Amino acid sequence: MTELILVAGAGGFIGGQLVRDLERQNFEVRAVDRKPLKNWYYESSTAENLVLDLKEMGSCRLSTNGATLVYNFAADMGGMGFIEHNKALCMLSVLINTHLLMASQESGVKRYFFSSSACVYPDYRQSETSIQALREVDAYPAAAEDGYGWEKLFSERMCRHFAEDFGLIIRVARYHNVYGPYGSWDGGREKAPAAICRKVAMALISGNKTIEIWGDGKQTRSFMYIDDCLKGTQLLMKSNFSSPLNIGSAEMVSINQLVDIVESIAGIRLKRSYKLDAPTGVRGRNSDNTLIRETLGWEPSISLRTGMEETYRWIYDQVKARAEGRPFVAAL
């Protein structure tokens, strides 16, 4: 009998890409998101596509009925601009994970994956740009990022207790800044790699060779390309490792260095204007990949340069199409 896989948040960037990848592997997929289908990043022609609000228990019961595996990516989130100004909306995502866990337990789901975030790590471990890479044990004593980070940390605990009390097999990934083509690149929910690609593309197309950078550009991060994210997620789901696990690149760069990379790809040099009052998050964040190497025998390996070349090429096409007044979204 074919296993049915539920992808919650399938209309989003990671969820949509996972649906596409599971289709390639000939799995039966149920894709669920609250957005209208026309707004999904990827609409499968073979999956069962459902438009449902997973904050509602009834929607979660419908979604999990008959499913064997559940991947939960559903959340209200975006880049730092969105997270800083929408803390309540971010916190309300706790309803999704709570109800989806309850429905999964009722429906006899075999394995449940929760997409957590590096935002669960305490501010006090990320106050310098030369940050020591974050280990999984560093999440406690807790002082998660307000709003989004606290929701993710609470939901991790909820997953843990469903495993302990009901025997539901749980896998939790702490993602570190996932990026790539076919994601948000404008409108306020985009993250730094996409925003910088958009700004560089706009400068190249318009001839206005300036770029606004949020903060002083010295803040540091690591960024993981979507293909690595998908591989690590599925490896973790199949594994016997039950604690939260970092899935992120260990290649840390400053935002200024990220701009350097995109400028090099585009073949342009821009004058930089620093918006010091913009939301920037913590000063430094990087993934310690010791545990993922030990448990999965693997870690993200696609270089930032390689991933940004693909991402910039796609975003440039979007920006150019918009400037010319025509729609453009290359098919996945």
Q: Six-digit token pair at 74?
A: 């559903």
Q: Which of 204, 201, 169 is nearest to 185 (CA)?
A: 201
In eight-state DSSP terms, residue 2 is P
State how far the Cα of 100 lies from the Cα of 60, in Å rounded to an integer: 5
- Three-state DSSP at 3 gives coil
Q: Rounded to the nearest 10 degrees, how much is the dihedral formed by the CA atoms of 330, 249, 100, 77?
A: -60
In eight-state DSSP terms, residue 12 is S
- Which residues, other chains included, contact 25 with Cβ-Cβ below 8 Å and sequence gap of 6+? none
- Is residue 41 annotated as a catalytic residue, yes or no? no
Q: Six-digit token pair at 41?
A: 């990043």
DSSP bridge partners of 111: 69, 169
DSSP bridge partners of 212: 273
State how far the Cα of 165 lies from the Cα of 281, in Å rounded to an integer: 35
State how far the Cα of 143 lies from the Cα of 134, in Å rounded to an integer: 14
Q: Six-digit token pair at 29?
A: 């997929």
- Three-state DSSP at 224 gives strand
Ranges of H-type helices in 57-184: 57-64, 80-85, 87-91, 94-107, 148-166
State how far the Cα of 324 lies from the Cα of 223, in Å rounded to an integer: 31
Q: Catalytic: which of 42, 121, 148, 312? A: 148
Cβ count within 10 A of residue 180: 24
Hey, which residues are catalytic here? 148
